[in-house]
């Protein structure tokens, strides 16, 4: 998911725990770590009962895991697992790692749930759109048609029992840009929790995954400020053991022949969005909040039913027209308002 700079998420967390590792002299300490990965910065904030040295050792393991994920899911790297698959010939089964098989399974489910508005098999379209953004030229109708025909899980054969995946169309490419960061943050948080760091926050661009709430609190505060409008009061929510993802067509845009297009790709037409929507999604995990936020931006109001039908998932959609911003919350979004 591409980071949305115009929605600001601020979180505060405090945690205390009893572990087998000797605590620091001053008790719980707050530590902050940052490392570049997946085209953004992964920031980890922990409240740790361990010494800095012991905490840093655990954090290093989390970042090593993030790098491993990047070496699997990046479609920018020719030698990543996905990069190699994108270059392979059609009708030749390719072995897939457990992480890739797991994410394909989740992705297919979410793709069906969002009516194809999230679809990691649309890598051919995203590659074309990246070229358009660099050259400031729209793709030709012929190239656009070829790329669109290569999209869809019908062009991909997945054999879970043997962990093999096969492209059936030579132009089919995978692009997990709308889910890989959320999925990776989930796995990193799992690692931290297993190491005794339950009060941890992992943010990666527009995705934040949170662990246990602070002592005496029922969650962390998250402030949402769309479009960097300082004259508007932020929407504040309180959550715990959940993920918050944001997406929006607000800043990263190009203008081609007088039409403004977003960096967010609309799979149904193969071009960037032309409206200025933004969305925040709360879900049990980043694996779901990340792609749902993007799908909500693409689909607009009609996607709210999908959110309402999703278990433990809420959202708020921001529709901007000229200078007016309309906020549309899901059925029970209000229960998270602080």
pLDDT digits (tens, 9 = 90+) for 209-224: 999 876 677 887 888 8
**Residue 11: band (very low, low, confident or very high) from pLDDT cuts 50, 70, 90:** very low
Neighbouring C-beta atoms of residue 123, cutoff 10 Å: 23
Neighbouring C-beta atoms of residue 308, cutoff 10 Å: 14
Of 85-94, 265-274, 276-285, 319-328, which range is least confident? Answer: 319-328
Distance between CA atoms of residues 284 and 78, nearest Å: 32
Q: Does pLDDT of 22 surpass 90?
A: no
Q: Does pLDDT of 252 surpass 80?
A: no
Are the CB atoms for 223 and 69 separated by under 8 Å? no
pLDDT higher for 214 or 79?
79
Distance between CA atoms of residues 207 and 214, nearest Å: 20
What would the mean pLDDT of 189-206 be, rounded to a whole number? 94
Question: What's the whole-number average pLDDT of the chain?
Answer: 88
pLDDT higher for 253 or 327?
327
Are the CB atoms for 328 and 317 separated by under 8 Å? yes
pLDDT in the model for residue 28:
85
pLDDT in the model for residue 6:
34
pLDDT digits (tens, 9 = 90+) for 134-171: 999 999 999 999 999 999 999 999 999 999 999 999 99
What would the mean pLDDT of 228-237 be, rounded to a whole number? 78
pLDDT in the model for residue 14:
27
In percent, the amount of the chain with pLDDT more than 90 equals 73
Are the CB atoms for 99 and 154 separated by under 8 Å? no
pLDDT in the model for residue 251:
59
Are the CB atoms for 88 and 167 separated by under 8 Å? yes
Show me where the domains of the chain are located.
81-167
Cα angle value 11/17/18 (rounded, 5°): 165
pLDDT digits (tens, 9 = 90+) for 316-328: 999 988 778 899 9
Burial (CB count within 10 angstroms: exposed 0-12, middle 13-18, buried 19+), residue 46: buried
**Residue 7: band (very low, low, confident or very high) from pLDDT cuts 50, 70, 90:** very low
User: Domain 81-167 is of which CATH architecture?
Assistant: Orthogonal Bundle (1.10)
Distance between CA atoms of residues 115 and 158, nearest Å: 20
pLDDT in the model for residue 215:
61
The bridge status of strand 200-204 relative to strand 40-48 is: antiparallel
Of 66-75, 101-110, 305-314, which range is least confident? Answer: 305-314
pLDDT in the model for residue 17:
30
- Residue 237: both structure tokens together: 């929510």
In a 3-state reduction of DSSP, which class is residue 188?
helix
- Residue 129: both structure tokens together: 């759109």
Give which of 17, 26, 34, 12 is closest to 204, Cα–Cα: 34
DSSP structure string for 245-267: EEEESSSSEEEETTEEEESSEET
């Amino acid at each position: 998911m591409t980071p949305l700079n115009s929605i600001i998420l601020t979180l505060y967390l405090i945690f205390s725990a009893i572990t087998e590792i000797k605590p620091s002299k001053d008790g719980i300490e707050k530590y902050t770590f940052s490392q570049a990965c997946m085209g953004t910065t992964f920031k980890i904030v922990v409240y740790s009962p361990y010494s800095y040295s012991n905490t840093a050792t655990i954090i290093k393991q989390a970042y090593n895991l993030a790098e491993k994920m990047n070496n699997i899911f990046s479609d920018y790297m020719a030698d990543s697992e996905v990069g190699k698959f994108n270059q392979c010939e059609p009708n030749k089964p390719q072995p897939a790692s457990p992480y890739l098989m797991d994410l394909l399974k989740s992705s297919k489910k979410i793709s069906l749930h969002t009516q194809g508005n999230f679809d990691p098999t649309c890598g051919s379209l995203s590659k074309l759109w990246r070229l358009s953004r660099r050259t400031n030229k729209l793709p030709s109708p012929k190239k656009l048609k070829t790329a669109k025909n290569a999209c869809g899980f019908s062009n991909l054969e997945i054999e879970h029992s043997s962990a093999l995946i096969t492209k059936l169309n030579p132009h089919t490419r995978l692009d997990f840009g709308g889910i890989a960061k959320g999925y990776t943050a989930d796995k990193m948080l799992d690692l931290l929790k297993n190491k005794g760091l339950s009060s941890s926050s992992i943010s990666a661009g527009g995705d934040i995954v949170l662990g246990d709430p602070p002592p005496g609190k029922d969650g962390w505060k998250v402030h949402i400020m769309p479009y960097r409008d300082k004259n508007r009061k932020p929407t504040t929510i309180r959550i715990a053991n959940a993920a918050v993802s944001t997406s929006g067509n607000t800043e990263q845009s190009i203008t081609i022949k007088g039409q403004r297009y977003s960096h967010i790709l609309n799979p149904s037409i193969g071009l960037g969005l032309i409206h200025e929507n933004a969305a925040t999604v709360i879900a049990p995990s980043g694996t779901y909040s990340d792609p749902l936020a993007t799908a909500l931006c693409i689909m607009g109001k009609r996607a709210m039913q999908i959110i309402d039908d999703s278990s433990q998932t809420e959202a708020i959609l921001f529709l901007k027209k000229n200078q007016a911003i309309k906020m549309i919350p899901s059925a029970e979004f209000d229960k998270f308002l602080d």
